[in-house]
Structures are given as C-alpha cells and as structure tokens.
Amino acid sequence: MAFSQETIEQIRLATDIVELVREYVPSLKKAGRNWKAQCPFHNEKTPSFTVNPEKGIFHCFGCHAGGDVFKFVTLIDHLNWPEAVQKLAGRAGITVKETKEEIIKRSEKQKIFDLLELVANFYHRCLKESKSAAAPGYLNQRGVTNETIDRFLIGFAPRTALVPAALKKGYTHEQLIAAGVITKTERGSFFEYMSERVVFPIFDTQGRIVAFGGRTLKDEQPKYLNTPETAVYSKSAQLYGLNESIPTIRNTKEAIILEGYMDVVITHQCGVPYTVATLGTALTAIHARMLGRYCENVTLLFDADAAGRDATRRAIDTFIETEIALRIVTLPDGLDPDEFILKVNKDGFLSHCNTKGVPAVEFLTALALEKWGKSTPEAKVKAASEVMPTLARIKNNILRREWIKYLAEKLNTTEDALQAEYKRAQSPLKGRRVKNDENVSAAPSTGLRSPEEEILQILFARPELGSHVNDDVFDNERNKETYRLFASGIPASQIVAHLNDEDARWFTELLVEERNYANPEQVLSNVLRDVQLARLRRRRQKLEEEVTAMINGNIPKDEDKIRAYNELTKQLKGSVK
C-alpha cells in the first residue's frame, strides 16, 4: 500500500517516540539526552536499548535492532509496513485515505482478517439467537455471564450454517479454506471445523481475529479443536486472552498461564484480568518473548496429572533461560482453574497462587524426590540428574549457585559434588549456537569510529556545522550517501526509512552513541584534517610504490610523478610539526 510522504511525516511528527516506546516498555528511563531500558526484543540483564527523542530513533546495542517509530511498531507488534502506518495513524487520530487502486491491492492477509471478523460475528449472533438451549445452557452451566460472552465474542456454530451465509456475502470456498474455517474432504464436500461447537475467537495482540477454538457439546473427541494454521495464524505465536490481558500485565508486571479457553474467560470474569492460555501446544520461546515484553513474573497453573507435569517441565525449559521469574502452582482436588476460582472467588484464587506457588527449581526438585527419593546414593544421583540439566541452563551465576545449594540441602549431599555434576551437565551446552531468543547482552559500542563516521556523528549532533563539510570528504559510499541525505535537510528519523535493515542498524547506533564534545567545531576541524592527511598518505604510498619501481628499473621514469611524490612527502612532514 502506498502512502504519500506528507501523510508519513504527519504521522511521524504526531508520534512522540518516547511515549510510544513507554507504552510497551514502561521501565524506559531518562539517561542524559537519551532514554534507556532493557530491550523488548531480546532478553538481557544490562539495559542496552536506547531511545533518542531528538532524532526520533531507537537502537539496541545488544541485538542491534534500530529504526524510527514505524520500525519499532513493525518489530514489537509483528506488523508489516502498511499495518504499522495504519496503527500509528489511528493512534494519532490521523485518517489515512486509500485510493481505489490501494483498496484493490489490499493484502491477502487483510482479506483473511476481514473474513474472520465476519465469521466471528456470525457465530456470536448464532449463539445469541440460538433456538437450541444446548450452547447457552452449557455456558450458563460453566458460569459464563452474558457480559463475558459479549466481551470475548463467544459464539456457536450451527451445523452447515456458515458456508451458505459466507457465500451469500460474496466470499468463495477458496477464501474460507484460506481463512482456515473450512476444509475440502476427499469426497469433494466441505467440512466446517467449528461445526456444532461453542466457539472462542482467538485474537492477536492487535485485537484482530486470527483463528477459532471450539468446544464440542457432544460426547466426542477431540473435546477441543482449533482451526488450522494459516497466513495469519501460528499457534506457537499466539496466547489466548493476551490481547485482553496486556493493559493489566503491563501494570502488574505479572501474567498467569492457564491451559484452556474457559479458564481464561472465567478468571477474567472473576476479576483476574491477566491470565492467558496456550492453544493446544507447548509453551514456546516465542510465547516467552511475547510475555517478556510486558511482564517480569509468570505463574504457571497446569493440571497435576502426568500430562500436566510434562507440560510444566517443558514450560520450565522454555522460561529458564529468560529473565522472567517463573512460579508453579498446583490446584487442589484436581479442580480446573475456572472451577477453582468460582468456588473460592478472586481473593481465594490469588491467595492460593501467592502462598502455594513455588519457583521452578523447587518444583522440579520435589518431583525428582517424589520419584526417586534420597534413601540411597543411587537415588540421589538419579534425582540430581533430573534437576541438574535445568540448573545448567540458568545464566545468572549467583542464582545458579543458590539453587545448587538448595538442591544439595534437599538431597543431603555436598555443594561440591553437585558443582561437579553441574559442569558435567553443562558440557553438552558448550558450543551451542546462540539463537535470537536467548539471553544476549552487549554494552554500547565504545570502539573507535572511522573519521568519516565521526564527522557524521558531529553533523547530526550539530547540524549548523554542515557548512564546513561537503560530500568530497567521504570515500565510503554508505557514509557519502548518508551525508547527502543529511545535506538535503532530511531529519534523522526520515533518513532511517531510506536505508536497508543493515544500514539502518548501523545508522541508529551511530546516532545514539554518547559523544560529549566540549568544542564540536574544533573536533570537526581536527577530524577533517585527519581525513585529508589520510588521503594524502594513501596517495603518497601509491606514488612511492611507483617511484620505487622506477628506481629499480621496472618501469620508465616519470619526472612528474617523482616531483609529486617529493612535494607530498614535504607536505606530510610539515603537517606533523
């Protein structure tokens, strides 16, 4: 989708980058001329994420993400460029008009979003107008109020009702298949995934419907069914209820992970609006990163049965390498979270989570001791071997030592013995390639910049000094092009949009580096002199090679070049006096 430059600049000027970033990163704090926080795009201990409000840009010295307000939104909300423009325009109250051609070119993804919204409203209307008591009766039995039904847009899918309704609206079977709501059988007929199920629309963090989950009202398996993955839906990258929970999670810095749709719906209804659920899949690193943008503490409530314990172990493996503090809670009497909170109300539910929640390592230690005991040396070895791989993945040395000490006490063994086991458990992890979702941290670059880069830093910090420089100063093409953009009067935040991703990362890092010049004009003069001297030295070196070849008789003598070489030699000697 094409947008006029005037519209883009109107949105950019209306968007304060600090205010925008703080909506996602409340911990952003002023640090001199910049603002700093832990990066929302990777896990780190030392804040290396920097925002420069004067330039309207951000840069992380750890993962090297960088750009302007539009780039920030595309990264934080997983949007493409047109979606980021539309989002920021809406945030600023600016109307972005689409031409007829732009409407025709609207992305296939947007068409799917539009269709899914229509389907969700259709299902919701079917529930509200249902002549059958089955679906409304089931929801009433589970304690779901009408207000909650409307809030979560819960619906019901009557058998064979959707396809005719969608076709009547002008949609095709192919579009319904692309949206993931129907599939074509081997017999050539069409099967609707949600047929005769209570339907829970699944929203992304932008509030767009991306898929559906359905609960059967019959005695059949599977009890719960999700629509398949599509161009807009990946179950490993979505958490049910997150869109509703984000405001509270940001404020409380805490999230509670549950197993099912109904768990989330009822806990929100009962006044705990920061619960989310996985979508029939194990917790993934993407899930952890998503939650890590908004919170510091996660409480995990999974079933106490064998399947629930396995899911909890996998979740611990996912979170253990992050900075998120994970606690595990087991509910009493085998109750599901929705049943438990309806029984004990909000205060009882939260009290149980606060008093019964245990850190991940304590949970694993208890399971290991329950399984193996500690009555024999062999039992202690087996129990330790179940916990040690998790300890080996804890990156904080102090935290890991404390947990090794805890495990030693529980096993009635020595810390030295467990430290030896830790080293053995750690060895398979050595040499493991660091992935994007692992803990990466780096301090701001303090390495030497090239003279040309230092000139650019001074010019962007003190634009009035631009008259001292022209593009002949630059030999490096990237530096030369960046200078030309500067000289044309384009602000730094706009220059980012002219660069590819690699150059944008370089540019934002260049600009957010702290350079405190007592006398910028004098520094610029010195650097320009250094650049000129470097050029003269390169020219002299080239001439020296040719003159040497002349002296050795390898090439004919050239008096002009010899004279130029001698003049350059004198000039360079004079320059260092």
pLDDT tens digit string along 492-517? 878 887 788 788 888 888 888 766 66
Q: Of the ranges 150-159, 408-417, 480-489, 496-505, which one carries the lowest mean pLDDT score?
A: 496-505
Neighbour-count burial for 425-437, b at 16+ CB within 10 Å, e otherwise: beeeeeeeeeeeb
Question: What rounded mean pLDDT belongs to the chain?
Answer: 85
How many distinct helices (H) and strands (E) make up the chain? 25, 16
- Does residue 4 register a pLDDT over 50? yes
Residue-wise pLDDT for 131-157, tens only, equals 888 999 999 999 999 999 999 999 999
pLDDT at 501: 78
Contact, 144 vs 115, CB < 8 A?
no
Contact, 483 vs 469, CB < 8 A?
yes
Contact, 227 vs 181, CB < 8 A?
yes
Could you tell me which residues are beta bridge partners of residue 216? Answer: 197
Neighbour-count burial for 198-220, b at 16+ CB within 10 Å, e otherwise: bbbbbbbbeebbbbbbbbbeeee
- Phi then psi for residue 240, to 5 deg, are -65, 130
pLDDT at 270: 97
Residue-wise pLDDT for 244-290, tens only, equals 999 899 888 899 999 899 999 999 999 999 999 988 777 888 888 78
Neighbours of 159 (CB within 10 A): 9
- Does residue 169 register a pLDDT over 80? yes
Q: Encoding tokens for residue 487?
A: 């000289």
Instruction: Work out whether the CA dihedral 229, 235, 238, 239 comes out positive or negative.
Output: positive
Among the ranges 184-188, 292-296, 351-355, 545-549, which has the highest mean pLDDT value? 351-355
Q: Encoding tokens for residue 211?
A: 């898929």
Half-sphere exposure (Cβ direction) of 424: Cα atoms closer than 13 Å: 11
DSSP 333: G
pLDDT at 438: 38
pLDDT at 427: 57
- By C-alpha distance, which of 317, 302, 271 is closest to 437? 317
Q: How confident is the model at residue 491 (pLDDT cuts 50, 70, 90)?
A: confident
- Does residue 439 register a pLDDT over 50? no
pLDDT at 459: 87
pLDDT at 393: 83
- Whose tokens are 């409304």? That residue is 136
User: What is the rounded CA–CA span in Å between residue 440 and residue 446?
Assistant: 18
User: What is the rounded CA–CA span in Å between residue 465 and residue 442?
Assistant: 32
- Does residue 36 register a pLDDT over 70? yes
- By C-alpha distance, which of 294, 314, 182, 306 is closest to 244? 294
Half-sphere exposure (Cβ direction) of 463: Cα atoms closer than 13 Å: 11
Q: Of the ranges 87-96, 104-113, 193-202, 335-344, which one carries the lowest mean pLDDT score?
A: 104-113
pLDDT at 106: 55
Please give the radius of gyration of the chain, using alpha carbons only, rounded to the nearest integer: 31
pLDDT at 122: 97
Half-sphere exposure (Cβ direction) of 219: Cα atoms closer than 13 Å: 0
Could you tell me which residues are beta bridge partners of residue 240? Answer: 277
